[in-house]
Chain A
Amino acid sequence: MLSIENLHASVEDGESTREILKGLDLEIWPGEVHAIMGPNGAGKSTLGHIIAGKDGYDVTEGTISFNDENLLEMAPEERAAAGIFLAFQYPVEVPGVATMTFLKAALNAQREARGEKALSTPEFMKAVKTAADKLGVKQEMLRRPINVGFSGGEKKRNEIMQMALLQPKLAVLDETDSGLDIDALRIVSEGVNSLRSPERSFLVITHYQRLLDYIVPDHVHVLAGGRIVRSGGPELAKELEERGYAEFLEAA
């Protein structure tokens, strides 16, 4: 489904250029849940941003293909329509734009890009209600401008609700656990777990093992120094929790 080969990416950092990803390889098959763990500054969020198509990164080498399409040549909205979803670490406020309005614009833009019929208002309302109920998102919140004045937990819940509504093929969760208390973490995780299916894959980016108690991954990778330095099963996460990232930092 997603195939990343030898990915090198850098950012402009004032006058100089800083290489963040230095030859990253990753292969995700349909239905798999992969976790990317690693110390701060390892390039975890960069990876998520590059998959979603954020400007400001220079891919100098390597390829990313998604269902045999060259992802790097696609605009962010084309990637979204093709089934890629990024749950933001810091969801962005858009003042004055009701969450409901935003969701409908997003859903119908994707549907139209795929040559599907736009949903009518009643169909859309039903779809939103289903997604919102699952995540415990209240109707009142759907009427508020998106992310404006939302608490940290509300923002993250809203991200997962959007995922439930948009039904992506590959969801990248960028530190979705950060800033969540234990109850919110459980709700969000249940939301994610209910969306697991043989066709849908997840890339869970996290600093802490805690999230992986709830969303149990098939594969765990350690990202350090811009590369995947070790891969394993769920037990690797536990090992990291006990021993920390120090040895990987040295290895990188």
Chain B
Amino acid sequence: MPAVQETIDRVAAIDVDKYKYGFVTDIESEKAPKGLSEEVIAFISAKKGEPEWMLAWRLEAYKRWKTMTEPEWAMVDYPPIDYDSIYYYAAPKGTSAPKSLDEVDPELLRTYEKLGIPLKEQEILAGVRKQGEPSDLDEIAGDAPYSRVAVDAVFDSVSVVTTFKDELAKAGVIFCSISEAVREHPELVQKYLGTVVPTSDNFFATLNSAVFTDGSFVYVPPGVRCPMELSTYFRINEQNTGQFERTLIIADKGAYVSYLEGCTAPQRDDNQLHAAVVELIALDDAEIKYSTVQNWYPGDAEGKGGIYNFVTKRGDCRGARSKISWTQVETGSAITWKYPSCILRGDDSRGEFYSIAISNGRQQIDSGTKMIHLGKNTSSRIISKGISAGRSSNTYRGLVRANPKAKNARNYTQCDSLLIGDKCAAITIPYVESRTGTAQFEHEATTSKISDDQLFYCRARGIGEEEAVALIVNGFVRDVIQQLPMEFAVEAQKLIGVSLEGSVG
């Protein structure tokens, strides 16, 4: 409950500008020349001190990208992107390789603090309620203890700092920026990079392969349960900059890791491109839980500005009995094009996708998942909650496929849409393909509106209209919120209230 109260406080505290992360950090930065060419790619590669093989890999992708065309099948509409007017690399000066927090530009630390991500490690422990004090959040948290969170902070094109590194290293966990991983752990990167999302995968993934700048790398060795939540916080600051995040997470046999990413960007009139690739690999008996709270600048009420979030995320349940779970809370971006998927290769592996996608104003979302059942007795579960308000459009697009060898594949899909107002759209496009007679696929879908009766019932009890909407929506998405790590569940609830501000009345 405190979360709901905070939602209200937060909604109430907003006056004109509802996007509170719209500020710009005044920091000198170093950029590659505008546009894309082999020289620019070589520049990025050199900046990052990459080995030869990495540059060759990038150039190969670039060659392919030049032959590809931008996909048009998604239910989104935007003017053509001029790929030559984008800066592909921007880095705050003097942050090339900070060894510790003390070496990081204080201006950057202040930026992350403003974003609610205090990088000073001990501060992450602050704000925790007293032990034994009851809270309605217990419903969400269950018995999960409050955990510490290690953060990798990515600012424009570079990772500025990664916290708790030493402690993680003691457990054998590697958590660093992908740039560092390319230098320090080339054998792991070479073994796994591009094995889930190949460089030829799709237009945006190929572009990313050519120019990716930073992102996180995680390796959890066999049998290790990662001792804390890992998270990366992405911030786009520079104007006309694209952010090309590349994240690679490997859970070796019997390992477990929970990872979360958060994203914000300043408020600008131009659109900015975020084309990320995330690859997850779970070996035998391993489990990866990947959560996203995406709050890129969504543009103004008329649809001016905002981030184009064109992202390829895919997990490979490579080993038997492995498990990958995606949870996403999507509230930002002008356009979202994103389908976190699972390839269920290992026998008895399991994929999960829990999604809350909220669109307001003129936002356009085309998001969903693919569950590709290859192994025997594989199972998957999809819970998607779409909320459309304003003049937005919100599409769920999903594919569940069982290949001939996927005996006894099982899927349960539930897609619920909630409409607020009468100028928005919700579209559900589920594809189901079963090539084995033993698959059991279930699909349920509902579309509803917040009813006047529900609103009146809340208001007759003294709950104001905006708060009532936040309450009803939080109820609608509850199943998914429960999947998020505790700290982020609270954050997500607040965000939902904020992003729906102005959607009624």
Stretch of A17-25, A34-42, A87-95 that contacts chain B? A87-95
Q: Which A residues are in CB contact (< 8 Å) with B464?
A: 75, 77, 109
Q: Which of B452, B454, B461 has the most CB of A within 10 A?
A: B461
For window 46-96 of A, CB contacts with B under 8 Å fall at 52-56, 75-77, 79-81, 85-86, 88, 91-96
Say which one of A97-105, A185-193, A195-203, A224-232 lies at the interface with B.
Answer: A97-105
Most chain B Cβ neighbours within 10 Å, of A81, A100, A121? A121
Q: Taking A108-B5, A118-B5, A121-B2 as contacts, is the C-beta distance between A98 and B460 under 8 angstroms?
A: no
The distance in angstroms between the C-alpha atoms of A31 and B461, with both chains bound, is: 21
Interface membership of A210, Cβ < 8 A: no
A122 within 8 Å of B by Cβ? yes
Determine whether the beta carbon of B456 is less than 8 Å from that of A101: no
Instruction: Determine how close the nearest CB of chain B comes to the CB of A224; give it in whole angstroms.
Output: 26
**A118 vs B462: C-alpha distance in the bound complex, in angstroms?**
13
Q: Once the chains bind, are B460 and A96 in contact (CB under 8 Å)?
A: no
A-B contact count (CB 8 A): 110
Once the chains are docked, how many angstroms separate the CA of A18 from the CA of B58? 73
Give Cα A95 to B2, complex, Å. 19
Tell me if B25 is interfacial: C-beta within 8 Å of chain A: no
Asked if B57 is an interface residue, CB under 8 A from chain A, the answer is no
Summarize B's interface: helix, strand, loop or mixed.
helix
Nearest neighbor of A122 in chain B, beta-carbon distance:
B134
In the complex, whether A132 has a CB less than 8 A from a CB of chain B is no
Q: Which residue from chain A places its CB closest to the CB of B476 in the assembled complex?
A: A96
Given A80-B462, A96-B478, A101-B136, the answer on whether A91 and B457 have CB atoms closer than 8 Å is yes
Answer whether residue B400 sits at the interface, using C-beta atoms and an 8 A cutoff.
Answer: no
Q: Which residues of B contact A122 (CB under 8 A)?
A: 133-134
A166 located at the interface, meaning its Cβ lies under 8 Å from any Cβ of chain B in the complex: yes
With known contacts A52-B460, A109-B464, A121-B136, A102–B5 Cβ distance under 8 A = no
User: Which B residues, 128 to 149, have Cβ-Cβ distances below 8 Å to chain A?
Assistant: 133-136, 139
Q: Give A162 to B462 CA distance when docked, in angstroms.
A: 12
Count of residues in B whose CB is under 8 Å from the partner chain: 33
The winner among A55, A80, A107 for most chain B CB atoms within 10 A is A80
In the assembled complex, how far is the CB of residue B216 from the closest CB belonging to chain A, in whole angstroms? 33
Residues of A within 8 A of B453 (CB): 92
What is the CA–CA distance of A106 and B462 in the complex, to the nearest angstrom?
5
Chain A, 140-161, CB within 8 A of any chain B CB: 143, 145
Given contacts A52-B460, A101-B4, A121-B133, contact A109 B476 (CB under 8 A): no
Q: Does residue B459 face the partner (Cβ distance < 8 Å to A)?
A: yes
Residues of B within 8 A of A106 (CB): 458, 461-463
Residues of A within 8 A of B474 (CB): 96-97
Rounded to whole Å, the gap between the CB of A166 and the closest CB of chain B is 7
Question: For the complex, what is the distance from the CA of A143 to the CA of B452, rounded to whole Å?
Answer: 24
In the complex, A176 has a CB within 8 A of chain B: no
Could you tell me if B456 and A97 are in contact, using CB atoms closer than 8 angstroms? no
CB neighbors of A among B1-33 (8 A): 1-2, 4-5, 8
CA A75 to CA B451, docked complex, whole Å: 18
Cβ-based interface call for B467 (8 A): yes
A110–B462 Cα gap in the complex (Å)? 5
Q: Is the CB of B136 within 8 A of A113?
A: no
Complex interface: chain A residues within 8 A of B460 (CB): 52-54, 76-77, 79-80, 85-86, 88
The answer, among A79, A94, A143, for a CB contact under 8 Å with B471, is A94
- Min CB–CB distance A85 → chain B (angstroms): 8
Considering the chains assembled together, what is the distance between the CA atoms of A143 and B456 in angstroms? Answer: 22
Asked if A125 is an interface residue, CB under 8 A from chain B, the answer is yes
Residue from B2, B5, B464, B467 with most neighbouring chain A CB atoms (10 Å): B464
Q: How long is the Cα–Cα vector from A113 to B472 in the complex, in angstroms?
A: 20
- Chain B residue with minimal CB distance to A100? B136
Which residues of chain B come closer than 8 Å to A166, judged between CB atoms?
A: 461-462
Interface status of B477 (Cβ within 8 A of chain A):
yes
B34 to chain A, nearest CB (A): 48
Q: 22 pairs across A/B with beta carbons < 8 Å?
A: A52-B456, A75-B464, A75-B465, A76-B460, A77-B460, A77-B463, A80-B460, A80-B461, A92-B453, A94-B475, A95-B475, A96-B477, A96-B479, A97-B474, A100-B1, A104-B5, A106-B463, A107-B462, A109-B467, A121-B133, A121-B136, A162-B461
* Chain B residues within CB distance 8 Å of chain A: 1-2, 4-5, 8, 133-136, 139, 451-454, 456-465, 467, 471-472, 474-479
A residues sitting closer than 8 Å to B (CB atoms) are 52-56, 75-77, 79-81, 85-86, 88, 91-98, 100-102, 104-110, 113, 118, 121-122, 125, 143, 145, 162, 166
The 9 closest A-B pairs by CB, nearest first: A96-B475, A80-B462, A97-B475, A110-B462, A106-B461, A76-B459, A96-B478, A92-B457, A109-B462
